[in-house]
Structure 1
Amino acid sequence: MKKILGFTVAMLVSVPLFAQSISGAVISLAGNAEIKADNDQAVVTFFIEEQDKDKAAAASRVNQKMKTGTDLIKKEDPQAELSTRGYYTYPIYNDDVKAAGQVAKHQLVGWRSGQYLEAKTQNLKHLPVTAAAAQTVLALNGINFGLSDAAVAKFESARIAAGYKDFSDKVSMITHAIGKKADDVIIESLDFDNAGTNIRPMMVAAPMMQRMKGAAPVEEPSFEPGYTTLSIHLIGKLRLK
C-alpha cells in the first residue's frame, strides 16, 4: 500500500515540475489551410495548320484562316484578350530507304505552316458559342480554367484568415496539452513570406484536333469550369512564459 501511495504522489509532483521545466521554451508551429473558389476565367488555345508543295501557298492559307478565325472570336467575345503564341514553317522530306551501305536520299516534298492563337476570357457563359464559331475555321487545341487576378485578390483575405485560424487552433491544442494557458504564450514571429498564393486549378484540356475543313457549322462544345484550390502555409514561433 505504501508503494502505491508513493507512486501516486510522485506523479502528482511531476506534472507541475514538467510545466515549470518548459517555461521559456521556443516552439515552432506551422499553419496550413485551403479554400476552394469557382473558376471565373478560361484560356483557350486555337490553331491552324496547312501543308502545300509551295511554301508561300501554305503560309497564305494559314494567314487567311487565322485572320478569319480571329475576327470570329472578336465578334462573339469582344472583351477576350487575344495573343499569338506561335508560328512555324518547316520543310517536309520523303526519305527513300536505301540498301545497307548506301546513303538515304532526302527529297523535299512540301512545306507545313501553322499558327497558334490564345484567347483569355471571363465570359464563360458564352464560351461554347465563341469556341464553336472559331472551330468553323480553326481547331481547338486546349483549354485551361482558372481564376482571374481580380478573383485571386478577392479571396486573398479569406485565404490568409483560414491559415491563421489553423495556426491559432494548433496553439490552443498545444497549450492545453502541456498544461499552459493562452496567456502563457507569446507569439514572437509569424512568417507569411512562405505563404505565397499557391494555386492548384482544376484544368480541362482538349485533345489535339485536326483542322476543320470548310465553314460548316460546329456543334457547341460543353465546358465545366471547375474550381481552383487556394492554399496557404505560414510558420510562427511561440515562447512560453
Structure 2
Amino acid sequence: MTVMKTVAAAALVLGAQAVQAQSIPTTGTLVIVPANGEVRAPNDQAVATLAIEEQDKDKAAAASRVNQKMKQGLDILKKEDPQARLKTQGYYTYPVYPEDRPVPMGGTPKRPQPVAWRVGQYVEMTTTSLGTLPKTVAAAQKILTLNNIQFGLSPEATRKLDDQRIAVTYRNLNERIASIASAMGRKTSDAVLETVDFEGTGNYAGREMAPAAPMMMMRAAKDTAEVAEPSFEPGETTLDMRLVGKVRFK
C-alpha cells in the first residue's frame, strides 16, 4: 500500500506540473524559427580546361608550335561544338635548367643557363552539349590535353531551381510554425509572421568555381594520334537554403 500511495502522489505532482506548464501565458511571445529546404537537379553544364605545352631549346620555336596547335585545337572545338563558349587563358613561358649543376673546386658558382624553354597555354570550354561532350573532347585531344573538367548547373537551370528552393524552404517554415503552435497549445491562426530572413545564414550554395588548373608536366599527343572517347558522368547538384522567421503569437 505504501508503494501505491507513493506512485499516486508522484502522478499527482507530475499532473500538477503539466497543468502549470500548459497554463504559462504565450500572448505576445516572439519565437525565432529556423527552416531548411533542399532541391536537386541533374547537372546540365560542363566547364573543361584543355591545354597545350611544348618544349624546345629555341624559345621562339616552342612558342610558335604552341600558337599553331592552340589555333588548331580551337578550330576543332568550334567545329565539334559550335554553341560552346571558349576562353583562352594562362599563357606561360618557363626556362628549363639542367638538373646537375657542378660547382668548380674553389670556384664561384656560375649563374645557371637554361637548356630549353617550356611554353604552354590553356583554353576553357563551357558547354551544355553534354551528349556530344565525349566526342568533342576526344577530337580535341588529338592536339590538346584535357587538364580538368567540372560539371554543374547552367545559369538558366540555377534560376529555375532557385524558385523551387525558396518554395520548399518556405513550406518547411510553415510546417515548423504549425508544430511550435501545437506544442504551445495554440492555434496556427494565432501566429503572425513578422520577419523572414533569407540573407542572415551565410549559406550561398551552388556557386561553384572551377579550381585553377595545375601546370602541365607532359607534352600533348601528336596531331595524328587517335584518342578514344572519354567517359563522363555529369552527376547532379544539390542546392540548399536556410531562412529564419520571427513569429509572434497574438
Q: Deviations over 1:54-104 (max 9, x none)?
A: 110000000000000110010000010000121001212225143797654
What TM-score comes out, normalization by structure 2 length? 0.85
Q: How does 1:1-241 map to 2 (within 5 A)?
A: 4=9, 7=13, 10-11=16-17, 13-18=19-24, 20=25, 22-94=26-98, 96-98=101-103, 103-105=108-110, 106-194=112-200, 197-199=204-206, 210=218, 211-241=220-250
Aligned-partner residue type, residue 158 of structure 1: Q
Moved more, 103-112 or 130-139: 103-112
Q: What displacement does 1:141 show?
A: 0.2
For 2:133 and 2:160, locate their aligned partners in 1 and report how far apart those are by CA, in whole Å.
23
Report the AA paired with residue 172 of structure 1: A
What letter matches 2:47 in structure 1? Answer: V
Task: Note if contact 1:141-1:209 (Cα within 8 Å) is conserved in structure 2.
Answer: no
Instruction: Give me the whole-angstrom Cα distance separating, in 2, the residues matched to 1:209 and 1:76.
Output: 27
Deviation at 1:155, TM superposition (A): 1.2
Count of matched residue positions in the alignment of Structure 1 and Structure 2: 237
1:125 partner SS: helix
Structure 1 window deviating more from structure 2 (52-61 vs 175-184): it is 175-184
Q: Distance in 2 between matches of 1:188 and 1:61?
A: 66
> Contact 1:200 / 1:229 at 8 angstroms: preserved in 2?
no
Distance across 2 between alignment mates of 1:140 and 1:9: 72
Secondary structure at 1:112 match in 2: strand
Task: Determine what percentage of the aligned residue pairs are the same residue.
Answer: 49
- Which structure 1 residue ranges, 5 or more long, are not aligned? none
Contact 1:47–1:114 (Cα < 8 Å) also in 2: yes
Worse overlay, 135-144 or 84-93 = 84-93
Structure 2 Cα separation of the partners of residues 118 and 128 of structure 1:
16
Amino acid at match of 1:96: R
Q: Structure 1 residue 164: deviation in Å?
A: 0.7
**Displacement, 1:237?**
0.4
8 Å contact kept, 1:139–1:209: no
Q: Secondary structure at the match of 1:67?
A: helix
Structure 1 residues 157-166 or 90-99, which shifts more?
A: 90-99
**Which structure shows the bigger proportion of residues in strand conformation?**
1
Aligned-pair Cα RMSD in Å: 2.6
Structure 1 residues 179, 53: CA separation in 2 closer, same or farther (over 3 Å shift)? same
The answer (yes or no) to whether the contact 2:22–2:184 under 8 Å persists in 1 is: no
Query: TM-score scaled to structure 1, two decimals?
Result: 0.88
- Separation in structure 1 between the aligned mates of residue 247 and residue 158 of structure 2, nearest angstrom: 30
SS in 1 for 2:115: strand
